[in-house]
Chains A and B, each alone.
Chain A
Amino acid sequence: MRRAFARTLGELARSDSRVILMTADLGFMVFEEFAEAYPSRFFNVGVAEANMIGLATGMASCGFLPFTYSIATFASMRPYEQIRNGPILHGLPVRIVGVGGGFEYGHAGITHHALEDLAIARTQPGLMVVAPADHLQAAAAFRATYDLPSPVYYRIGKRDDYVLPGLDGRFTLGAVETVREGEDILIIGIGSICSVAFEATEKCAASGVHATMCVVSSLRPAPVSDLSQLLSRFPVALTVEEHYVDGGLGSLVCEIAAETGARCRVVRCGVKALPSSIGGEACLRGAHGLTAWDICATALRAMGVEPR
């Protein structure tokens, strides 16, 4: 999704002179083309995320559309107060792009694992929160939201070679995208880990449990209407996120279920404890119950089927 971001932003910058790209010294082999094509609109601000958001807020107040970029932890948490007192408080179109949510920077260690960025972004009034599932959807999401008047937080993955079956690059702000239809259970995913969730639906099907899988890529505005309709159709909804279970997608689905009085049990798959080791993405997903087998087994048990 990194290259999808850089490429899409380059296209948008060609026709819209308000587009600015700022990075806090990250994006090797990603932003060279943009920097070469638009040298006056590309800024490596150095390792200074707080300043980056302040600069972007000032520029947005003068009519620009600044995209700020860093690893998701640094992009969202280091300058959190700047985000709150800047674009949120002033309602300005600053874009915060966090790359590598969840365990994508696995070996880099826990400082690089963004497991609460969606939760903290979701609490800020007026901040759109977008987390695409693959690079095609990421490109569509950037095109659809780049010039919104409100600020936006994007959590994007690193991979540019994966396409989620059935998604076909669709993105609608405030809506869910259904990628698989089944009658037994609802599986709701967000972000890169939708690839694993999809694999889990296939394993469930092999055990006779057929899942509808939908992708929430717009956490804010929350797809309340779509989710409440879906929740009314199933006895169990399973949420899958590479994020702490508190505050993110699982919490959102629980809130909607409770507020709409849905008679649907919600089971949350996500990270439940502080990671205690480093490792590759697959290893860490395994350590936190987020492999396709784990998700499938959780779904089957929730349906009263003993996994084989």
Chain B
Amino acid sequence: MPVVLPTEMMKPVPTVTPYWIRKIIIEESKRANVGHIGSALSIVDIVAVLFDGELRSVGTNSPVRDRFILSKGHAALALYAALHLRGLISEEQMHTYCSDNSLLGVHPEHQLEGIDFSTGSLGHGLSFGAGVALSARLKGQDFNCFVLVSDAECNEGSLWETVMFAAHHRLSNLVAVVDNNGQQALGKTKDVIDLSPLADKWRAFGWNVHEVDGHDVDQLRDALSSLNTRKGPPSAIIANTIAGKGVSFMEGKVEWHYLPLSDEQYAQALEELEALSR
């Protein structure tokens, strides 16, 4: 019988939870010395809920797998973390984040298992997702397409082309989740292009809209499970979030769209995540 050391017995097993995704984001962005940390932390809870049960047949080649498109590609590190926690990205590969000759860049590439669409240019993901949703209908297949867009991405006219199309064709199996963190690259959305009332805009375009706290996994789960993805209009979940969520000095700060972590900041960020997880 193998001897199990007490420390190993106590070592926590990573799971697809917000805590582990945040921890990986902090560790990998520090190791790679890159930014976009605030954007990734903003979507952690949404990604955790989707990859912990909501998405069916994640990472398989099944033609009827649910699709997840990260249209705000600059938050890819959160997606990599979820794929890693689902066993689709090895630990070794995870550590190649933003290294030379890696597939794990700041924005996701479709060559990576579990990623259906390369993003990075905003305003492209929703139309791809609508095409996928339309295909499911034409083929009589039962799967859903989830597209995570950012609030500032709603500045892109191409997004609204799709919003109109999806409503007109009642693509009930298309779900847009809007990461409504109120920030964009050069400031607050209310100061750059005021989007409010954002939920009303989607509603006015004919979508079924839910507004939730995007960091409350129960609210996210309830909203997702309440959707009728077989009949009716497409759905939008306006997830009210905070950029940099979970690390006090990053929360709501535009600069964390860009900055890498110093050693002190890294230590503090990890400490705060540990404290939150207790």
Interface bits B122-154 vs A (CB < 8 Å: 1, else 0): 011011111111111011000001000000000
Interface size on A, residues (CB 8 A): 26
* In the assembled complex, B205 has its CB within 8 A of some CB on chain A: no
Known A-B contacts A46-B164, A89-B110, A90-B118; the reply to A55 vs B158 at CB < 8 A is: no
A81 (CB) vs chain B CBs: closest residue: B121
- B118 and A59 contact, CB distance less than 8 A: no
Whether B127 lies near A58 (C-beta < 8 A) is yes
Measured in the bound complex, the distance between the Cα atoms of B139 and A82 in whole Å is: 24
The proximity string for A residues 173-210 relative to B, scoring 1 for CB distances below 8 Å and 0 otherwise, is 00000000000000000000000000000000000000
Give Cα distance in the complex from A206 to B127, angstroms.
56
Give chain A's interface secondary structure class: helix
Contact partner, B165, options A46, A62, A86, Cβ 8 Å? A46
A53: nearest chain-B partner, CB-CB: B127
Contact in complex: A63, B63 (CB < 8 Å): yes
Check A58 against B158 for contact (C-beta < 8 Å). no
Known A51-B161, A63-B63: A58·B130 in contact at CB below 8 Å:
yes
**A41, A58, A81, A85: the one within 8 Å of B131 (CB):** A58
Q: What would 13 A/B residue contacts be, using CB atoms closer than 8 Å?
A: A40-B138, A46-B164, A48-B161, A50-B127, A51-B130, A54-B130, A55-B165, A56-B131, A58-B128, A58-B134, A61-B116, A63-B135, A82-B124
Number of interface residues of B (CB under 8 A): 30
Closest residue of chain A to B141 (Cβ to Cβ) is: A62
Residues on the B chain within 8 Å of A41, using CB: 138
Q: Which positions 88-122 of chain B face chain A at CB distance < 8 Å?
A: 110, 116-118, 120-121
Residues of A within 8 A of B29 (CB): none
Given contacts A45-B165, A58-B127, A58-B132, 18 further A-B contacts (CB under 8 A): A41-B138, A46-B161, A53-B127, A54-B158, A55-B127, A57-B127, A58-B128, A58-B130, A58-B135, A59-B132, A59-B134, A59-B135, A61-B116, A61-B135, A62-B131, A64-B135, A82-B158, A86-B128
Residue B183 lies at the interface, judged by CB distance under 8 Å to chain A: no
B162 within 8 Å of A by Cβ?
yes
